[in-house]
Protein backbone atom coordinates (compact mmCIF):
# COMPACT_ATOMS: atom_id res chain seq x y z
CA UNK A 1 0.00 0.00 0.00
CA UNK A 2 0.96 3.61 -0.42
CA UNK A 3 -0.57 7.11 -0.49
CA UNK A 4 -1.03 9.58 -3.29
CA UNK A 5 -2.63 13.01 -3.39
CA UNK A 6 -5.89 13.81 -5.24
CA UNK A 7 -3.68 15.26 -7.97
CA UNK A 8 -1.90 11.91 -8.34
CA UNK A 9 1.41 12.85 -6.68
CA UNK A 10 3.02 9.98 -4.76
CA UNK A 11 3.30 10.88 -1.07
CA UNK A 12 4.20 7.43 0.25
CA UNK A 13 5.29 4.81 -2.31
CA UNK A 14 3.20 1.64 -2.52
CA UNK A 15 5.84 -0.64 -1.03
CA UNK A 16 4.47 -1.22 2.48
CA UNK A 17 2.17 -3.87 3.94
CA UNK A 18 -0.34 -1.35 5.29
CA UNK A 19 -0.89 2.40 5.49
CA UNK A 20 -3.68 3.72 7.73
CA UNK A 21 -5.73 6.82 7.00
CA UNK A 22 -4.10 9.98 8.36
CA UNK A 23 -4.85 10.74 12.00
CA UNK A 24 -3.62 13.80 13.85
CA UNK A 25 -1.53 14.67 10.77
CA UNK A 26 0.34 11.36 10.61
CA UNK A 27 0.09 8.11 8.66
CA UNK A 28 0.67 4.85 10.54
CA UNK A 29 2.76 2.63 8.21
CA UNK A 30 3.34 -1.09 8.80
CA UNK A 31 5.93 -3.34 7.21
CA UNK A 32 6.08 -6.84 8.67
CA UNK A 33 6.46 -6.53 12.45
CA UNK A 34 7.72 -2.95 12.18
CA UNK A 35 5.72 0.30 12.39
CA UNK A 36 6.66 3.87 11.45
CA UNK A 37 4.86 7.20 11.22
CA UNK A 38 4.94 9.53 8.18
CA UNK A 39 3.62 13.09 7.93
CA UNK A 40 1.24 14.25 5.20
CA UNK A 41 4.18 15.37 3.07
CA UNK A 42 5.59 11.83 3.09
CA UNK A 43 8.41 12.53 5.52
CA UNK A 44 9.25 9.83 8.05
CA UNK A 45 8.59 11.35 11.48
CA UNK A 46 9.22 8.23 13.56
CA UNK A 47 11.40 5.43 12.12
CA UNK A 48 10.34 1.81 11.75
CA UNK A 49 10.48 -0.01 15.07
CA UNK A 50 9.25 -3.18 16.71
CA UNK A 51 9.90 -2.06 20.27
CA UNK A 52 6.19 -2.41 20.99
CA UNK A 53 3.89 -5.32 20.15
CA UNK A 54 1.28 -3.01 18.64
CA UNK A 55 1.04 0.64 17.61
CA UNK A 56 -2.10 2.76 17.29
CA UNK A 57 -2.87 5.94 15.37
CA UNK A 58 -2.05 9.33 16.83
CA UNK A 59 -4.87 11.38 18.33
CA UNK A 60 -4.34 14.55 20.35
CA UNK A 61 -0.57 14.07 20.12
CA UNK A 62 -0.46 10.52 21.49
CA UNK A 63 -0.57 6.99 20.07
CA UNK A 64 -1.43 3.76 21.87
CA UNK A 65 1.33 1.16 22.23
CA UNK A 66 1.28 -2.37 23.60
CA UNK A 67 4.19 -3.71 25.65
CA UNK A 68 4.17 -7.11 27.36
CA UNK A 69 0.38 -7.24 27.27
CA UNK A 70 -0.18 -3.75 28.70
CA UNK A 71 -1.18 -0.53 26.93
CA UNK A 72 0.37 2.92 27.24
CA UNK A 73 1.08 5.95 25.02
CA UNK A 74 3.94 7.58 23.15
CA UNK A 75 4.14 11.14 21.82
CA UNK A 76 5.15 12.34 18.36
CA UNK A 77 8.80 12.39 19.40
CA UNK A 78 8.56 8.68 20.18
CA UNK A 79 8.86 9.19 23.93
CA UNK A 80 6.84 7.04 26.26
CA UNK A 81 4.60 9.58 28.03
CA UNK A 82 2.21 7.11 29.70
CA UNK A 83 3.82 3.87 30.87
CA UNK A 84 2.12 0.70 29.54
CA UNK A 85 0.00 -0.37 32.49
CA UNK A 86 -3.57 -0.73 31.27
CA UNK A 87 -5.41 -3.90 30.31
CA UNK A 88 -6.83 -2.00 27.33
CA UNK A 89 -7.18 1.62 26.25
CA UNK A 90 -8.87 3.52 23.44
CA UNK A 91 -7.43 6.55 21.65
CA UNK A 92 -7.56 9.97 23.26
CA UNK A 93 -10.60 12.14 22.63
CA UNK A 94 -11.20 15.49 24.29
CA UNK A 95 -8.41 14.92 26.80
CA UNK A 96 -9.72 11.52 27.92
CA UNK A 97 -8.92 7.94 26.92
CA UNK A 98 -11.31 5.13 27.82
CA UNK A 99 -9.55 2.28 29.67
CA UNK A 100 -10.69 -1.21 30.64
CA UNK A 101 -9.53 -3.47 33.45
CA UNK A 102 -9.36 -7.27 33.72
CA UNK A 103 -12.98 -7.39 34.96
CA UNK A 104 -14.22 -5.69 31.77
CA UNK A 105 -15.13 -2.54 33.67
CA UNK A 106 -14.44 0.79 31.96
CA UNK A 107 -13.12 4.09 33.21
CA UNK A 108 -11.08 6.98 31.77
CA UNK A 109 -7.61 8.51 32.14
CA UNK A 110 -6.44 12.07 31.53
CA UNK A 111 -3.50 13.15 29.36
CA UNK A 112 -1.08 12.31 32.18
CA UNK A 113 -2.34 8.74 32.59
CA UNK A 114 -4.22 9.43 35.82
CA UNK A 115 -7.45 7.47 36.35
CA UNK A 116 -9.95 10.33 36.57
CA UNK A 117 -13.05 8.15 36.11
CA UNK A 118 -13.05 4.93 38.11
CA UNK A 119 -13.64 1.50 36.58
CA UNK A 120 -17.39 1.14 37.05
CA UNK A 121 -19.06 1.07 33.63
CA UNK A 122 -19.73 -2.14 31.62
CA UNK A 123 -19.58 -0.05 28.42
CA UNK A 124 -18.20 3.46 27.95
CA UNK A 125 -17.76 5.29 24.64
CA UNK A 126 -15.26 7.99 23.70
CA UNK A 127 -16.03 11.54 24.74
CA UNK A 128 -17.69 13.81 22.22
CA UNK A 129 -18.80 17.39 22.79
CA UNK A 130 -17.99 16.99 26.47
CA UNK A 131 -19.96 13.81 27.15
CA UNK A 132 -19.59 10.02 26.86
CA UNK A 133 -22.28 7.34 26.67
CA UNK A 134 -22.31 4.60 29.27
CA UNK A 135 -24.53 1.55 29.58
CA UNK A 136 -24.85 -2.18 29.07
CA UNK A 137 -25.71 -2.30 25.32
CA UNK A 138 -29.42 -2.37 26.25
CA UNK A 139 -29.87 1.00 27.93
CA UNK A 140 -27.71 4.10 27.92
CA UNK A 141 -26.96 7.28 29.83
CA UNK A 142 -24.44 10.13 29.67
CA UNK A 143 -21.56 11.21 31.89
CA UNK A 144 -19.47 14.39 31.80
CA UNK A 145 -15.66 14.50 31.74
CA UNK A 146 -15.52 14.33 35.53
CA UNK A 147 -17.52 11.09 35.54
CA UNK A 148 -20.74 12.65 36.83
CA UNK A 149 -23.95 11.07 35.51
CA UNK A 150 -25.85 13.85 33.74
CA UNK A 151 -28.40 11.63 31.95
CA UNK A 152 -29.59 8.45 33.74
CA UNK A 153 -29.20 5.03 32.14
CA UNK A 154 -32.79 4.54 30.94
CA UNK A 155 -32.71 5.10 27.17
CA UNK A 156 -32.39 2.42 24.50
CA UNK A 157 -30.68 4.93 22.23
CA UNK A 158 -28.83 8.21 22.76
CA UNK A 159 -27.57 10.31 19.87
CA UNK A 160 -24.87 12.98 19.67
CA UNK A 161 -25.00 15.95 22.00
CA UNK A 162 -25.57 19.18 20.09
CA UNK A 163 -26.05 22.53 21.82
CA UNK A 164 -26.80 20.82 25.12
CA UNK A 165 -29.56 18.63 23.62
CA UNK A 166 -29.56 15.01 22.52
CA UNK A 167 -32.02 12.70 20.77
CA UNK A 168 -33.15 9.82 23.00
CA UNK A 169 -35.40 6.79 22.54
CA UNK A 170 -37.24 4.68 25.10
CA UNK A 171 -39.23 1.46 24.95
CA UNK A 172 -42.46 1.26 26.93
CA UNK A 173 -43.73 -2.30 26.61
CA UNK A 174 -44.02 -2.87 22.86
CA UNK A 175 -44.11 0.84 22.03
CA UNK A 176 -41.15 3.07 21.16
CA UNK A 177 -40.88 6.82 21.75
CA UNK A 178 -38.35 9.42 20.66
CA UNK A 179 -37.68 12.88 21.98
CA UNK A 180 -35.19 15.72 22.40
CA UNK A 181 -33.60 15.77 25.87
CA UNK A 182 -32.11 18.94 27.24
CA UNK A 183 -29.21 18.08 29.56
CA UNK A 184 -30.23 19.25 33.00
CA UNK A 185 -33.85 19.55 31.86
CA UNK A 186 -36.69 17.46 30.48
CA UNK A 187 -37.61 15.63 27.28
CA UNK A 188 -39.82 16.96 24.49
CA UNK A 189 -41.40 13.89 22.92
CA UNK A 190 -42.30 13.62 19.23
CA UNK A 191 -44.13 11.14 17.01
CA UNK A 192 -41.13 10.11 14.87
CA UNK A 193 -41.44 6.44 15.86
CA UNK A 194 -45.18 6.08 15.29
CA UNK A 195 -44.44 4.40 11.95
CA UNK A 196 -42.26 1.82 13.72
CA UNK A 197 -44.93 1.06 16.32
CA UNK A 198 -47.52 0.63 13.56
CA UNK A 199 -45.22 -1.67 11.58
CA UNK A 200 -44.46 -3.82 14.63
CA UNK A 201 -48.18 -4.19 15.32
CA UNK A 202 -48.82 -5.21 11.72
CA UNK A 203 -45.97 -7.72 11.95
CA UNK A 204 -47.60 -9.36 14.97
CA UNK A 205 -50.91 -9.53 13.11
CA UNK A 206 -49.21 -11.00 10.03
CA UNK A 207 -47.44 -13.67 12.11
CA UNK A 208 -50.71 -14.66 13.79
CA UNK A 209 -52.45 -14.91 10.40
CA UNK A 210 -49.51 -16.93 8.99
CA UNK A 211 -49.66 -19.40 11.89
CA UNK A 212 -53.36 -19.97 11.24
CA UNK A 213 -52.74 -20.36 7.49
CA UNK A 214 -49.95 -22.93 7.94
CA UNK A 215 -52.10 -24.89 10.40
CA UNK A 216 -54.99 -24.96 7.91
CA UNK A 217 -52.74 -26.13 5.09
CA UNK A 218 -51.25 -28.96 7.13
CA UNK A 219 -54.75 -30.03 8.11
CA UNK A 220 -55.48 -30.46 4.39
CA UNK A 221 -52.06 -31.86 3.42
CA UNK A 222 -49.16 -29.41 3.65
CA UNK A 223 -48.26 -25.88 2.48
CA UNK A 224 -45.75 -27.27 -0.05
CA UNK A 225 -48.66 -28.43 -2.21
CA UNK A 226 -49.81 -24.86 -2.81
CA UNK A 227 -48.02 -23.29 -5.76
CA UNK A 228 -48.71 -19.76 -4.57
CA UNK A 229 -47.30 -20.53 -1.11
CA UNK A 230 -44.04 -21.92 -2.55
CA UNK A 231 -43.69 -19.01 -4.95
CA UNK A 232 -44.33 -16.53 -2.15
CA UNK A 233 -41.53 -17.78 0.10
CA UNK A 234 -39.19 -18.76 -2.76
CA UNK A 235 -38.54 -15.26 -4.04
CA UNK A 236 -35.27 -15.48 -5.97
CA UNK A 237 -34.43 -11.77 -6.15
CA UNK A 238 -35.14 -10.32 -2.70
CA UNK A 239 -34.64 -6.70 -1.77
CA UNK A 240 -36.23 -7.14 1.61
CA UNK A 241 -39.64 -8.81 1.39
CA UNK A 242 -40.94 -8.63 4.97
CA UNK A 243 -43.98 -10.85 4.31
CA UNK A 244 -41.78 -13.59 2.87
CA UNK A 245 -39.39 -13.60 5.82
CA UNK A 246 -42.17 -13.70 8.41
CA UNK A 247 -44.18 -16.40 6.61
CA UNK A 248 -41.13 -18.65 6.23
CA UNK A 249 -40.17 -18.14 9.90
CA UNK A 250 -43.61 -19.52 10.85
CA UNK A 251 -43.46 -22.35 8.30
CA UNK A 252 -39.90 -23.23 9.31
CA UNK A 253 -41.05 -24.19 12.83
CA UNK A 254 -43.04 -27.08 11.31
CA UNK A 255 -40.10 -28.36 9.23
CA UNK A 256 -37.45 -30.90 10.17
CA UNK A 257 -33.86 -29.57 10.36
CA UNK A 258 -31.62 -31.76 8.18
CA UNK A 259 -28.51 -29.59 7.93
CA UNK A 260 -27.20 -26.04 8.11
CA UNK A 261 -30.06 -23.89 6.80
CA UNK A 262 -31.65 -27.02 5.30
CA UNK A 263 -35.18 -28.14 6.15
CA UNK A 264 -37.54 -30.95 5.15
CA UNK A 265 -41.32 -31.21 5.16
CA UNK A 266 -42.23 -34.49 6.86
CA UNK A 267 -45.54 -34.67 5.00
CA UNK A 268 -44.31 -34.57 1.39
CA UNK A 269 -40.51 -34.66 1.63
CA UNK A 270 -39.86 -31.28 0.00
CA UNK A 271 -36.49 -29.79 0.94
CA UNK A 272 -35.98 -26.06 1.53
CA UNK A 273 -32.70 -24.13 1.74
CA UNK A 274 -32.55 -20.83 3.56
CA UNK A 275 -30.07 -18.25 2.27
CA UNK A 276 -29.28 -14.78 3.58
CA UNK A 277 -27.87 -12.15 1.21
CA UNK A 278 -26.13 -8.96 2.31
CA UNK A 279 -27.23 -5.85 0.44
CA UNK A 280 -25.42 -3.28 2.60
CA UNK A 281 -23.50 -3.03 5.87
CA UNK A 282 -26.78 -3.13 7.79
CA UNK A 283 -29.20 -4.99 5.52
CA UNK A 284 -29.46 -8.75 5.19
CA UNK A 285 -32.43 -10.27 3.38
CA UNK A 286 -33.75 -13.81 3.23
CA UNK A 287 -34.03 -15.97 0.13
CA UNK A 288 -35.55 -19.46 0.19
CA UNK A 289 -35.20 -22.09 -2.52
CA UNK A 290 -36.71 -25.55 -3.00
CA UNK A 291 -33.53 -27.62 -3.02
CA UNK A 292 -35.20 -31.03 -3.34
CA UNK A 293 -38.71 -31.12 -4.72
CA UNK A 294 -41.04 -34.02 -4.01
CA UNK A 295 -44.03 -35.03 -6.11
CA UNK A 296 -45.78 -31.74 -5.53
CA UNK A 297 -49.46 -31.09 -6.06
CA UNK A 298 -50.17 -27.60 -7.28
CA UNK A 299 -53.30 -26.83 -5.34
CA UNK A 300 -55.16 -23.61 -5.97
CA UNK A 301 -55.00 -21.29 -8.94
CA UNK A 302 -51.82 -20.34 -10.78
CA UNK A 303 -49.51 -17.52 -9.76
CA UNK A 304 -50.69 -14.27 -11.38
CA UNK A 305 -48.55 -11.43 -12.69
CA UNK A 306 -49.32 -9.18 -9.72
CA UNK A 307 -48.93 -10.48 -6.17
CA UNK A 308 -50.29 -8.74 -3.04
CA UNK A 309 -48.07 -7.94 -0.06
CA UNK A 310 -49.24 -6.64 3.29
CA UNK A 311 -46.14 -5.08 4.86
CA UNK A 312 -44.27 -3.89 1.80
CA UNK A 313 -40.56 -3.75 1.09
CA UNK A 314 -37.40 -2.41 2.66
CA UNK A 315 -33.98 -2.15 1.10
CA UNK A 316 -32.92 -1.29 -2.41
CA UNK A 317 -34.22 -1.73 -5.93
CA UNK A 318 -37.89 -1.60 -4.93
CA UNK A 319 -38.78 0.30 -8.07
CA UNK A 320 -37.88 -2.78 -10.15
CA UNK A 321 -40.75 -4.72 -8.59
CA UNK A 322 -43.53 -2.16 -8.59
CA UNK A 323 -45.21 -3.88 -11.52
CA UNK A 324 -45.17 -7.28 -9.77
CA UNK A 325 -46.22 -6.54 -6.19
CA UNK A 326 -48.94 -4.38 -4.74
CA UNK A 327 -49.57 -3.60 -1.10
CA UNK A 328 -52.86 -4.78 0.34
CA UNK A 329 -54.28 -5.83 3.69
CA UNK A 330 -53.18 -8.97 5.55
CA UNK A 331 -56.40 -10.89 4.93
CA UNK A 332 -56.11 -10.31 1.17
CA UNK A 333 -52.60 -11.82 1.23
CA UNK A 334 -53.76 -14.85 3.23
CA UNK A 335 -56.74 -15.46 0.94
CA UNK A 336 -54.41 -15.19 -2.07
CA UNK A 337 -52.09 -17.84 -0.63
CA UNK A 338 -54.83 -20.32 0.26
CA UNK A 339 -56.96 -19.87 -2.89
Helix axes 330-338, 194-219, angle to 10 degrees: 20
Q: What is the pLDDT of residue 149?
A: 97
Q: What is the pLDDT of residue 315?
A: 62
| pTM of the full structure | 0.73
Backbone angles phi, psi at 287, to 5 degrees: -130, 135
Q: With beta carbons less than 8 A apart as the criterion, state whether 56 and 63 touch.
A: yes
> How far, in Å, CA of 36 to CA of 255, rounded?
57
Backbone angles phi, psi at 8, to 5 degrees: 100, 0
Going residue by residue through the chain, which has 339 residues, state the pLDDT in tens, using 9 for 90 and above.
999 999 999 999 999 999 999 999 999 999 999 999 999 999 999 999 999 999 999 999 999 999 999 999 999 999 999 999 999 999 999 999 999 999 999 999 999 999 999 999 999 999 999 999 999 999 999 999 999 999 999 999 999 999 999 999 999 998 999 999 999 999 999 999 999 999 999 999 999 999 999 999 999 999 999 999 999 998 766 667 789 999 999 999 999 999 999 999 999 999 999 988 777 777 777 889 998 877 777 888 899 988 898 987 766 556 666 678 888 899 999 999 998
Amino acid sequence: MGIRSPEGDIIIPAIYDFVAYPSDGLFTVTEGDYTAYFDEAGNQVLPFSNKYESYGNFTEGKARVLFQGKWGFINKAGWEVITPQFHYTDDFSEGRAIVRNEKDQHGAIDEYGRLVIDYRFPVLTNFENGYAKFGDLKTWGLIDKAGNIVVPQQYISIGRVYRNTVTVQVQDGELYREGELTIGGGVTWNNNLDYLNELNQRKKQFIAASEQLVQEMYAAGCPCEYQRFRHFIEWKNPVGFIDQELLFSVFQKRLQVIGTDLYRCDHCGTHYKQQWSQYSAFLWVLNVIVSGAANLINKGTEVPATIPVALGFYGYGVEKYNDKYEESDIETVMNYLRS
